[in-house]
Chain A
Amino acid sequence: MPQLGESMAEATIVAIKVQPGDKVSADQEIIEVETDKAVMGVTTPCAGEISKIEAEVKGTYAVGTVLGYIEASEADAGRFQKRAPQPSKDDVAKEVPGREEESTNLVRTENGSGSHFQVDEAGLPPVAAGSHFQVDQAGVLPVPAGTKGAGYSSPRVRARMAELQLTQADLAGIAGSGNAGRVTIKDLENFLGTIERQPAEKPSAIRTGVADAMRRSWTRPLATVGLSLSLDPVLEDRKRRDPKPGPALYALRALALALAEQPNAAARLIGGRVIRSESIDLGVAVEAQDGIMVPVIRKADQTSLADLTSRYAELVDLARRRRLTADMTSGGIASISNFGSFGLDWGTPIPLPDQTLLLGLGVGKKVPFWDEKKGAFVPRTEAQMTLSFDHRSLDGGGAGRLLKRIVELLGEPTKL
């Protein structure tokens, strides 16, 4: 089983196109295998005759496993041997008894060290002895000589971090002086000494809470996509409503309706399971003193815009007075951040750690917009809308479809 891709560890046999006795040419595709990425072909290392196939269809084999044997002429095998690592004489003697005495000019192309069909284009390049990174050609995992490089925290460093409630993120500013750049206890103490001499104050509870949530969220692969939209229909619709919802509430309602159509977009991936929520409960980021609070509006898809507006006003009031209870801020499946209220066009806000999605809304600005029908630029109020997502659960396409649907819904705000 050749190494057909950098991250490939094993592959499953899809088809075997030859059988024992078949003549094959060099680089002929004889076995099809499927990895987690693609279906690929295993090719012959040299011309010859298939003597034995050991692999079975639907079987999964690790890289380096012998799939079969080819009998080749000395000349053909010789061409292959130039590319393959040479077995030691002792190994060959053990592996092929009586080889020295054999009068036939046929040699088997396997070698004593567990050689396999070598595919030099896709396989790893041979590494000269003394090269910087030693790669084992036989597919055996190299055993690390030591694991105490930059990523290593000794028991003592970990205990000290726990004592001071430090996280790895807090240590980002320390250049480790230990082996391979690891942070030793002395580096940590020196760093703490430096910090000690600088002015400091205790962070508020809300700051600590936000810091913790953001740090936890950042352990995931997060990505952001964006789209511009016209706010004019929303602004027009708003004039006719009482109470008057802000643009962020229109966006919230549109997000709720879009999620009702595409519920998988907000699913969470935990372990090997896709976790969906039964209720479209959405959070709204509210800037309170010294931090952000995210109260949750329940069943936003089943709540009219008018009800959303009054519920939102209540929650904002509670948030600013620090009267939100834990159950008012938990259980959301996605949230919205109106960073436009800070005059910002664009951002990559971070979803809450227990949510996959965060919808961001930038500031509305009058811009010239090319109108195809009129054949002229017309003024329109435009805002940028972003969707940040956990890339484990959702891809750019899925995020894009959801965002497009939200923008579409905001184009007809009377229906919201």
Chain B
Amino acid sequence: MSVTYLEAIREAQTYLLREDERVFIYGQDIAGKFGGAFKATKGLAEQFPGRVLNTPISEDAMVGTAIGAAMEGMRPIVEMQFADFSSIALNQILNNAGTQYWRTQTPCPITVRLPSGGTKGSGPFHSQSMEGIYSHYPGLVVLTPATVEDAYTMLIDAVAIDDPVIYCEHKYLYYHLKANALPKDKLPIGKARVVRPGRDLSIVTNSAMVHEALAVAQQFSADGIEIEVVDLRSVKPLDTDTVLASVARTGRLLCVGEAFPWGGVTAEVIARVASEGFHLLDAAPARINAKDTPIPYHPNLWSEHRPNAKTIAAKARQVLAE
């Protein structure tokens, strides 16, 4: 038996609905036969009647309703059709959910699922990575699972967390990524994972870019260069200790992110390493992100717009040669 990344998300929701009666799922076209834009809730409405609910096409209303339910003791999961459209709910997420506990001492345990990142031919409105925006604001937890196992355990953890959680699931991994079975154990939220140990260069990345980085590390290994790959898993909180420990081993840092280059997760990682681990660096820290333009529709352009194994390898060589 094998489980895809998408199935792991569905399984996690099944588990949550079964184990915790406070959980319900709220989203556009997620109930009934359709089962959501990516079928992440397929079959769940029949299995858990009255707990998988269709909403109007208003992200603002969806999150606002979820916040109200959370205040009354529920544990709602909100499914956005695409991460890109969560911007319509920014006011509810940032101003209301993010600040609620700090204003009222009433926790706001909502989980917002964002189908994120690019796939071929999805264009500017269906490809974006939003973790940078949400990480900027206090009061939110932002998760970016890169593996089937993390997709499963981190969603279950997200619902258990008393703060609002932005759960960024990568669409490119939905069907591509498979595991043999659902995981038995887990790494806690807030811990990064060293996916591949190395000694020459640390690539710190998250979400789908972990797999691009691993491909590059594999390729360099043939030439005797060992790249360490760190999967951040959770971008907020950010596991600075694991990143610094990795840079301490290698002396060189390359951050890779699929999001746009201005600010964001890669910039934050470099800022932390530069200020807390300057003395560990044997070369200027580098980063590679998507290009600073809207995401192109054409598959060939899209492939060149995001960082890929080829451009990451070129950047890695640059850092190693310094």
> Do the beta carbons of B279 and A156 come within 8 Å of each other?
yes
> In the complex, which residues 144-191 of chain A have their Cβ closer than 8 Å to any Cβ of chain B?
146, 148, 154-159, 178-179, 184-186
B-chain residues with CB within 8 Å of residue A179 when the two chains form the complex: 321-322
Contact stretch, chosen from B121-129, B160-168, B280-288 = B280-288
> Do the beta carbons of B279 and A159 come within 8 Å of each other?
yes
Q: What's the minimum C-beta distance from B281 to chain A, rounded to whole angstroms?
A: 5
A186 and B281 alpha carbons, distance in the complex (Å): 12
> Do the beta carbons of B322 and A185 come within 8 Å of each other?
no
A232 and B205 alpha carbons, distance in the complex (Å): 82
Q: Which of B278, B281, B282, B321 has the most CB of A within 10 A?
A: B282
> Do the beta carbons of B279 and A184 come within 8 Å of each other?
no
> Do the beta carbons of B279 and A178 come within 8 Å of each other?
no
A-chain residues with CB within 8 Å of residue B107 when the two chains form the complex: none
User: Considering only CB atoms and an 8 Å cut-off, how many residues of chain A contact the other chain?
Assistant: 13
B-chain residues with CB within 8 Å of residue A178 when the two chains form the complex: 322
Q: Decide yes or no whether B76 CB sits under 8 A from chain A.
A: no
Q: Decide yes or no whether B307 CB sits under 8 A from chain A.
A: no
Q: What's the minimum C-beta distance from B253 to chain A, rounded to whole angstroms?
A: 11
> In the complex, which residues 291-322 of chain B have their Cβ closer than 8 Å to any Cβ of chain A?
321-322
A283 and B322 alpha carbons, distance in the complex (Å): 48
Q: What's the minimum C-beta distance from B41 to chain A, rounded to whole angstroms?
A: 50
Q: What's the minimum C-beta distance from A145 to chain B, rounded to whole angstroms?
A: 12
Q: Which residue of chain B has the shortest Cβ distance to A158 in the bound complex?
A: B279
Chain B, interface size: which category?
under 10
B-chain residues with CB within 8 Å of residue A148 when the two chains form the complex: 283, 322
- Interface residues of A, dominant DSSP: helix
> In the complex, which residues 251-287 of chain B have their Cβ closer than 8 Å to any Cβ of chain A?
251, 278-283
> Do the beta carbons of B279 and A185 come within 8 Å of each other?
no
A77 and B280 alpha carbons, distance in the complex (Å): 59
Q: Which residue of chain A has the shortest Cβ distance to B321 in the bound complex?
A: A179
> Do the beta carbons of A156 and B322 come within 8 Å of each other?
no
A184 and B279 alpha carbons, distance in the complex (Å): 13
Q: What's the minimum C-beta distance from A314 to chain B, rounded to whole angstroms?
A: 48
Q: What's the minimum C-beta distance from A181 to chain B, rounded to whole angstroms?
A: 13
> Do the beta carbons of A185 and B321 come within 8 Å of each other?
no
> Do the beta carbons of B321 and A154 come within 8 Å of each other?
no
Q: Which residue of chain B has the shortest Cβ distance to A152 in the bound complex?
A: B322
Contact with B along A172-214 (1 / 0, CB 8 A): 0000001100001110000000000000000000000000000
> Do the beta carbons of A157 and B322 come within 8 Å of each other?
no
> In the complex, which residues 95-127 of chain A have their Cβ closer than 8 Å to any Cβ of chain B?
none
Contact with B along A233-274 (1 / 0, CB 8 A): 000000000000000000000000000000000000000000
> Do the beta carbons of B321 and A156 come within 8 Å of each other?
no
Q: What's the minimum C-beta distance from A306 to chain B, rounded to whole angstroms?
A: 58
> Do the beta carbons of B282 and A184 come within 8 Å of each other?
yes
B-chain residues with CB within 8 Å of residue A186 when the two chains form the complex: 251, 282
Contact with B along A37-62 (1 / 0, CB 8 A): 00000000000000000000000000
A159 and B279 alpha carbons, distance in the complex (Å): 5
Q: What's the minimum C-beta distance from A155 to chain B, rounded to whole angstroms?
A: 5
A-chain residues with CB within 8 Å of residue B281 when the two chains form the complex: 154-156
> Do the beta carbons of A155 and B322 come within 8 Å of each other?
no
Q: Which residue of chain A has the shortest Cβ distance to B250 in the bound complex?
A: A185
A185 and B252 alpha carbons, distance in the complex (Å): 10
Q: Which residue of chain A has the shortest Cβ distance to B200 in the bound complex?
A: A186
A28 and B282 alpha carbons, distance in the complex (Å): 55
B-chain residues with CB within 8 Å of residue A155 when the two chains form the complex: 278-282
Q: What's the minimum C-beta distance from A150 to chain B, rounded to whole angstroms?
A: 13
Q: Which residue of chain B has the shortest Cβ distance to A154 in the bound complex?
A: B282
A414 and B281 alpha carbons, distance in the complex (Å): 66
Q: What's the minimum C-beta distance from A154 to chain B, rounded to whole angstroms?
A: 4
A-B pairs, top 8 by smallest CB distance, nearest first, are A159-B279, A185-B282, A156-B282, A154-B282, A155-B278, A155-B281, A185-B251, A156-B281
Tell me the A residues contacting B by CB distance below 8 Å: 146, 148, 154-159, 178-179, 184-186
Could you show 8 A-B contacts with beta carbons less than 8 Å apart? A155-B278, A155-B281, A156-B281, A157-B282, A178-B322, A185-B251, A186-B251, A186-B282
Given A154-B283, A157-B282, A184-B251, 10 further pairs, Cβ under 8 A = A148-B322, A154-B251, A154-B281, A156-B251, A156-B279, A156-B281, A158-B279, A159-B278, A159-B279, A159-B280
